[in-house]
Amino acid sequence: MTEKIPDDIKKDLEKAADLHQRATSDYAKCLEFSKLMSDLLARLEDAGCHRTADRVMGILLDCQPREGAHCDKSTLVGEKMKKF
């Protein structure tokens, strides 16, 4: 059965995907991406979209913003974001 993801969450998932493309070398954008994904996780759980929430959780587990360092897992996270 396919989950019915609310339109506002879909828009924010698209925003997060676009943001991640710019975040790999910008710490502030990386933090913004991580915060947005954390917010989306809570909203997805509240909406009962548990399968999608699990996918977001998987991304958050790999997303660890570090100031002054290039993201080691940007390619992995980017590939996961493309699947949305």
> Do residues 50 and 71 touch, judged by C-beta distance below 8 A?
no
Its pTM stands at 0.80
The per-residue pLDDT string of the chain (84 residues; one tens digit each, 9 = 90 and over) reads 578 999 999 999 999 988 887 776 777 888 898 899 999 999 999 999 999 999 999 999 988 776 765 666 777 777 777 776
> Which of 60, 54, 46 has the alpha carbon at shortest distance from 16?
60
Reading the block at residue 16, the tokens are 């997060």
Please tell me the distance from the alpha carbon of residue 73 to that of residue 81, in angstroms, as a whole number.
Answer: 12
Among 76, 49, 48, 47, residue whose Cα is nearest residue 64: 76
